[in-house]
Amino acid sequence: MTAAASDSLAQRLLAGDKRALARAITLVESDDPAGWDLVREVYPHTGKAAILGFTGAPGAGKSTLIGALVKNRRALDREVAVLSIDPSSPFTKGALLGDRIRLTEHFLDPGVFIRSMANRGALGGLSEAALQGALLMDAAGKQDVFLETVGVGQAEIDIIDHADTVVLVLMPGSGDSIQALKAGIMEIPDIIVVNKADHPLTDTMVREIRGVLSLAPQRGWRVPIVKTEAVRGKGIEELVEKLDEHRAFIQEEGTLSERRKRNLQNEVLAICTARLRRDLEARLKEDASYQALLERVVKRELDPASAATTILAEIEGADVAARGPGSVA
């Protein structure tokens, strides 16, 4: 791609052109250098959108909930984008699961941009690609950016960390996410939604969540529990209210800028780490002494951690090795 073409793509993106945005995200997702150049170019125009993260186990109803929220935002004439990082999402598999939810209407609305990401192996990983995608949506003038991810694994939680407001979506009768909260694996979100609230176990679940929250340190913001039935649109107004309240809270308290600073710092570190790893892999591919070292690991003569110590010592001098545990005596 020539510089001129890239310029024009950036201009079209900043003007809100849907196809330019789609093209830009594809560039980022496929780790095309032009994608990174583009993000650099439009980055000064970001920071305006509200980034709303939705996480929760498969089947909890995240997509249906986001669908209802999109409808609400559109009624206020706000520009909306949805970025779904979930191979099982109806946003990805709309045609297959179209009967389960009604989102096709939004696909035809020019004020709504819907995109999924499921690719693995982009530079810096899916989490980095997702943030770049969100930045592009922000630059394209989307006022609300919904990030959707299956929040069971750590990689997915890293993605949701890019959001200004994190919503955990649970459904009655499935205690797994609560177990994750209890175990401290998952950080306490900003808002908890109990969806499919017509289920007889709803109130049991709400009590259980209250129990977990009572043990967590409260720092100013009191995490609300909102009961919804997304398929019927029930509870959506209350959820919108809580989302707005949280936004007002973090803006007043200055935690929005704090949170964004922390997220951007993590982002910079993650990109650095990914590049260091890629660089390391490239070096080792052609290194005979590394192959010999690996052979010793395979023969159970040298353990993986000691092999790592040796490699780092060779590459960077005694500097890193001295600080590493399990140094080769």
Residues 21-60 that bind its own copies (CB under 8 A): 31, 33, 36-37, 39-40, 43-47, 57-59
Identify which of residues 46 and 255 has a Cβ nearer to its own copies in the complex. Answer: 46
Identify which of residues 138 and 144 has a Cβ nearer to its own copies in the complex. Answer: 138
**CA–CA–CA angle 268, 57, 105 (5° rounding):** 90
Check: CB of residue 134 under 8 Å from CB of residue 125: no
* CA separation for the pair 110, 19 (Å, rounded): 11
Identify which of residues 140 and 239 has a Cβ nearer to its own copies in the complex. Answer: 140
Tokens of 167: 């919503």
Q: What is the 3-state secondary structure (H, E, C) of 9-70?
A: HHHHHHCCCHHHHHHHHHHHHCCCHHHHHHHHHHHHHCCCCEEEEEEECCCCCHHHHHHHHH
End-to-end alpha carbon distance in the chain: 51
279 belongs to the binding site for its own copies (CB under 8 A) = yes
95 belongs to the binding site for its own copies (CB under 8 A) = no
325 belongs to the binding site for its own copies (CB under 8 A) = yes
94 belongs to the binding site for its own copies (CB under 8 A) = no
Identify which of residues 88 and 218 has a Cβ nearer to its own copies in the complex. Answer: 88
Q: Which of 153, 216, 252, 253 binds its own copies (CB under 8 A)?
A: 153
318 belongs to the binding site for its own copies (CB under 8 A) = no
Q: Which of 223, 234, 183, 229 is nearest to 202 (CA)?
A: 229
174 belongs to the binding site for its own copies (CB under 8 A) = yes
Q: Which of 129, 81, 86 is nearest to 267 (CA)?
A: 129
Stretch that binds its own copies, among 12-20, 168-176, 227-235, 245-253 (CB under 8 A): 168-176
The total number of residues shown for the chain amounts to: 329
Stretch that binds its own copies, among 101-109, 153-161, 217-225, 247-255 (CB under 8 A): 153-161
Q: Which of residues 216-275 bind its own copies (CB under 8 A)?
A: 257, 260-261, 264-265, 267-269, 271-273, 275
